[in-house]
Amino acid sequence: MRTFLLILLMVALLALFGPTLVGFIMSLLAVVVVPLFVVALLAGIAFVVGIALFGSTVLAVAIASAVLVLVGFSLFWPVLLIALVIWIFSRNRTQTA
């Protein structure tokens, strides 16, 4: 009986908050996945341009890597900044003299 009530509660909560939850998940996907696709697309374009213009796979990989680093950093710098702040404040603060 308890399991049935839990399932009934979950169904009721999903009926009430389901659209909000789906909207939240979709916006989270849009915030994370779309920039990843943009970075991958720009890196692919840079690779093709590097191959077409210079004819060197090594140079094309270097250009694509540079695009990945620069565009990836420019899109995800807030996430990197938050990770840096979390890392700074989560370190052990004991001093050894």
| Concatenated DSSP letters of 18-50 | HHHHHHHHHHHHHHHHHHHHHHHHHHHHHHHHH
Q: Residue 50 has what pLDDT?
A: 80
Q: Which residue is it, tokens 């996907």?
A: 29
Q: Residue 93 has what pLDDT?
A: 67
Q: Residue 9 has what pLDDT?
A: 82
Spatial separation of the C-alpha atoms in residues 62 and 46, rounded to whole Å: 9
Residue 48: partners with Cβ closer than 8 Å, 6 or more residues away: 60
Q: Residue 96 has what pLDDT?
A: 63
Q: Residue 10 has what pLDDT?
A: 82
What is residue 59's three-state secondary structure? helix
Q: Residue 48 has what pLDDT?
A: 84
Q: Which residue is it, tokens 């659209």?
A: 19
| Contact between residue 51 and residue 57 where contact means Cβ atoms under 8 Å apart | yes
What average pLDDT values come out for the chain (97 residues) when binned by 10 residues? Answer: 83 76 77 79 82 80 80 76 86 67
